[in-house]
Amino acid sequence: MQQAFALVDCNNFYVSCERVFDAKITSRPVVVLSNNDGCVVARSQEAKALGITMGVPLFKIRHLVEANDINVYSSNYALYGDMSQRVMGVLQSFTPDVEIYSIDEAFMLLGGCRYGTPRVVGELGREIRERVRHDTGVPVTIGIAETKTLAKLANHLAKTSKKAGGVIDLTGSPYKDVALRRTPVEEVWGVGPAYSKLLKQKGILSALQLRDVDVRWARQAMTVVGARVVMELRGVSCLPLESCPPSKKSLTCSRTFGRSTPSLSDLREAIAYYATRVAEKLRRGKLAAGVVTVFVHTDRHADGPQYFNAGTHTLAYPTDSTQEIMRCALDALERIFREGFNYRKAGVMLNSLSPADQLTLRMFGDERAERFRQVMVAVDQINRKWGRDTVRFATANPDGNWRTKVEKRSPRYTTRLQEVLTIN
Amino acid sequence: MDDSVTGVYLPDRRMRWSRPLIMCRVPAGFPSPAEDYVKGRIDLNRDLIKHPLSTFYVKVTGDSMVGAGIMPGAMLVVDRAVEALDGHIIIARIDDELCVKRLSMGDDGRIRLLSENEQYAPIEITEGMDFQVWGRVVYSISPH
């Protein structure tokens, strides 16, 4: 079997997750809102048909919601994250060559000698699609081709084609030119708004036309990135599967508050909470941070005085301790906080990351640092076992006033014992 | 030695569920006579869940399945990956409702969903119904 890339994309992922557990919305219009219930971030097919666009604020579609009895959900990231891991796990049961591209998308490398009996990759694609739907309840669309760029293009076509049954395999397909001709150039993966404008000026409107340009011209006009797109469209793979994600440059935890607050003590609680979260992420990645940045800002869409600021604290030695990160973050907050503003968003960012096993040995106070490391290891273990925030620093109150609004969130069916699916 | 002992199982301390095991003190200094018989440890997460990716927990409030030992308040371990055959207990989706029932597939191809409580009539799956097996109940944990 010839080697090929597959792009597996979950259909309307957040909506599909909700539908696995709530049979009442199986064929009803459904939308899922962003944090703080602001904008639409996922729509069912039925909601799309009603003309609801991606990213539209809820208040602008209130009339549609009421007239059509649309089911509206807050984002339930605990559920979506868990369901995503299940979907990716099923993909990994077919091959270890899986690149998790986002919460609802993954590239797979199919073919080669990993499979016993030679067969058509399209058949394997249909098997993968059926297994994911059967085992997790999530419907997916799969595009298969010789390169990632073509796989992405095939996936896009599979979404809109009724005949495809959710899988399009372009490897050795006689319809490849038709597929490329039907794809507008701006929809080709890697062609941003600037290049798509340039290409259209040159009369290059379809993926097919882009494939057939002179590569030297593409390199001149669109750098090596453009040349790579052209080669990928020709079926020459230039973008390999990245199964280990590149190590992170920075880590952030930030949220928009449920409602604005002028109070320093609210901000302190929020910052302490974000510092706790981001330090956990840091330790999970076995990293240490050298720079802690805190930012706060007011609601730019609201009336009243506006204020945006960030404060940075550089550590003498990199650290992965919640206590130290929190202390630096709160320090930085005190420096940038100003009275008289209604704050809407805050966050903690860690930079200058290095592997934790290279933590510089300290000349003084090393024993205390080591004791603290042991405390953090124990805290992480307890929280993993008994649930988030079982043990926490008192400043990091997870139920503060600033808590994100999730008024219409569905139960966390798969991650909380008290919230599992209940049937009669 | 008594040959009828086939194995002694120790609890796995990583597991989160209460363990139906008897523990006893071993006096210090004396080797436990059971030591040679320890064959492994029980981890319900591992032993009850064959397919973690496709296994979900479902809680039951009603009494339609008490005859099968599924009491109100029971927690079901539901695996979507295993095939549901005649006689298996399943979570079924009928139109816009999920329910737990015993699957009955007649030789004539008719599908019926049976309750395990005389007060509930069987449900016959007919052409116009939107019916789907959501998953198969592989274990039930009832409060007693």
Which residue blocks in B1-144 are alpha helix, DSSP H? 44-48
> For residue B93, what pLDDT is reported?
93
Q: What is the token pair recorded at B126?
A: 């007919």
Whether residue B64 lies in the annotated active site = yes
Region of poorest pLDDT, from A223-237, A355-369, A392-406: A355-369
- Is pLDDT above 70 for A368? no
Whether residue B140 lies in the annotated active site = no
Helix axes A264-284, A322-336, angle to 10 degrees: 140
User: pLDDT tens digit string along A112-138?
Assistant: 555 544 468 889 999 999 999 999 999
Q: Which long-range contacts (CB under 8 A, 24 or more apart) does A90-98 make?
A: A90/A128, A90/A131, A90/A132, A90/A135, A90/A136, A90/B53, A90/B54, A91/A8, A91/A128, A91/A132, A93/B53, A94/A124, A94/A128, A94/A131, A96/A243, A97/A241, A97/A243, A98/A243
- Is pLDDT above 50 for B2? no
Other beta carbons within 10 angstroms of residue A172's beta carbon come to 13
**Mean pLDDT for chain B?**
80
A286, A355 Cβ separation under 8 angstroms = yes
Interface test with A, best of B98, B113, B137, B138 (most A CBs within 10 A): B98
Q: Give yes or no for A149 touching B (CB within 8 A).
A: no
Q: Give yes or no for A300 touching B (CB within 8 A).
A: no
- Is pLDDT above 90 for A376? no
Taking alpha carbons only, the member of B90, B91, B113, B42 closest to residue A20 is B91
A209, A225 Cβ separation under 8 angstroms = no
- pLDDT-derived band at A169 (thresholds 50, 70, 90) equals very high
CB contact under 8 A, A422 and B95: no
Give kind and range of the element (H or E) at residue A125.
helix A121-136
The single residue listed with the structure tokens 């295993």 is B82
User: pLDDT tens digit string along A315-339?
Assistant: 888 888 888 899 999 999 999 999 9
> For residue B28, what pLDDT is reported?
56
3-state secondary structure A331-386: HHHHHHCCCCCCEEEEEEEEEEEEEHHHCCCCCCCHHHHHHHHHHHHHHHHHHHHH
Higher pLDDT, B29 or A308: A308
Please give the radius of gyration of chain B, using alpha carbons only, rounded to the nearest integer.
Answer: 20
CB contact under 8 A, A423 and B93: no
Distance from CA of A67 to the nearest CA of B (A): 21
3-state class (DSSP) for residue B93: strand
Distance from CA of B64 to the nearest CA of A (A): 8
Q: Give yes or no for A90 touching B (CB within 8 A).
A: yes
Predicted complex ipTM exceeds 0.85: no
CB contact under 8 A, B98 and A413: no
Can you give the pTM of this predicted structure? 0.74
Helices and strands in chain A: count of H runs, count of E runs: 13, 13
Which residue blocks in A241-365 are alpha helix, DSSP H? 264-284, 322-336
For residue A27, the chain B residue with the least C-alpha distance is: B96
Region of poorest pLDDT, from A212-221, A345-354, B84-93, B133-142: A345-354
> For residue A3, what pLDDT is reported?
80
Higher pLDDT, A231 or A394: A231
Interface test with B, best of A19, A79, A135, A138 (most B CBs within 10 A): A135
Stretch A388-399: mean pLDDT: 76
> For residue B46, what pLDDT is reported?
80
The single residue listed with the structure tokens 């940075």 is A312
Among the partner-chain residues A24, A90, A424, the one whose CB lies closest to the CB of B96 is A24
User: pLDDT tens digit string along B31-59?
Assistant: 566 655 655 677 888 888 899 999 999 99
Q: Give yes or no for A418 touching B (CB within 8 A).
A: no
Taking alpha carbons only, the member of A313, A309, A317 closest to residue A291 is A313
- Is pLDDT above 90 for A142? yes
Which chain A residues contact residue B15 at CB under 8 A? none
**Mean pLDDT for chain A?**
87
Q: Give yes or no for A382 touching B (CB within 8 A).
A: no
For residue A92, the chain B residue with the least C-alpha distance is: B53
